[in-house]
Amino acid sequence: MSTEYSPSRRSKLSPESTYNTPMVGNFAESQNEVRYLRYLQKLAEQTKSGTQSVHAGEMFRTVSDQLKKNVEIISKFELQVKAEAQKNEKLTMENERLKRELSNLQVTFSGTQREPADVIRQQKAEIESLKAHVGILQAEIKQHSQSKKQFEILENKDYAKLASAYRTEKMQHKLKTEQLQKMVHELRKQKTYLEKMIPESQRTTTFMTSPESVAVPMRAEKNKSEEKNKIIIEEEEENVMNMADEKVEGEMEEEK
């Protein structure tokens, strides 16, 4: 029969009821107490070990869930980076298309003589087209800035892979800004070319066969009209150029 100690047995372990002498009874009771204390100690150790295992398991599950969330976030941003790359490719193709159109316009203007009114209408149409294109570029820049802010928010969480993705996005933004600067340069070249169109057109239609007394007043009148038309064109084109310059400068300042 087991002699392990229990509270119910302790009341029965007394010198008078179990043993013949007090000495023998006290010795047996002390032995039972030692066994009971060892049992409590072993039980406490098992309980502590089990609690630590449960706590470690919970920590492992928490870390595992966090890692899964991080992987999902990284995957989403990889998709966003690919989307931005596709957008940049589309902008490059659009830039090439505009260059081809500009080249075609130069060929058309160089081989055609037009009246000043027709030239002005054509130039106004070109300016409106440029304004529409500038509006598209502004919308693209705004969307790009929003994407950049999202990357900045996530970078503050100190995820190494997310920070690398943001740096890639930043480099793409820099390339895109350089493309915009090149486009502005092309627009300025077109502006210079359009400014030269009216003087060239009028030089080809001078009154060589008219008497000098008639040609001089008419030439003066044409020069006055030329100056007026040139001022109108310069104002329209300057507005377009200022809009593009301000947008590019704002992006460069934001990049710094």
Question: Would you say the C-alpha torsion 140, 142, 145, 149 has a positive or negative sign?
Answer: negative
The predicted pLDDT at position 153 comes to 65
pLDDT in tens, 27-40: 455 566 667 677 76
CA angle 245, 246, 251 (to 5 degrees): 100
pLDDT surpassing 70 at residue 71: yes
Q: Rounded to an integer, what distance in angstroms lies between the CA atom of residue 188 and that of residue 192?
A: 6
The predicted pLDDT at position 108 comes to 66
The predicted pLDDT at position 7 comes to 47
The domain locations on the chain are: 80-255
Query: What region, left, alpha or beta, does residue 76 occupy, with left being phi > 0 and alpha being psi -120 to 50 degrees?
Result: alpha
The predicted pLDDT at position 201 comes to 56
Contact 165, 151 (CB under 8 A): yes
The predicted pLDDT at position 6 comes to 46
Contact 78, 154 (CB under 8 A): no
The predicted pLDDT at position 192 comes to 79
23-30: average pLDDT: 48
pLDDT surpassing 70 at residue 190: yes
Longest dimension (CA), the chain: 160
The predicted pLDDT at position 23 comes to 42
Q: Which stretch of DSSP H or E encloses residue 69?
A: helix 22-110
pLDDT surpassing 60 at residue 26: no
Q: What is the mean pLDDT of the chain?
A: 68
The predicted pLDDT at position 57 comes to 60
Q: Helix 22-110 and helix 160-203: axis angle, to 10°?
A: 10
pLDDT in tens, 138-185: 888 878 777 777 766 665 665 566 667 667 877 887 888 888 888 888
pLDDT in tens, 38-55: 776 776 666 655 555 555
pTM of the model: 0.23
The predicted pLDDT at position 25 comes to 45
Exposed e or buried b for every residue in 13-42, given b needs 16+ CB within 10 A?
Answer: bebeeebeeeeebeeebeebeeebeeeeee
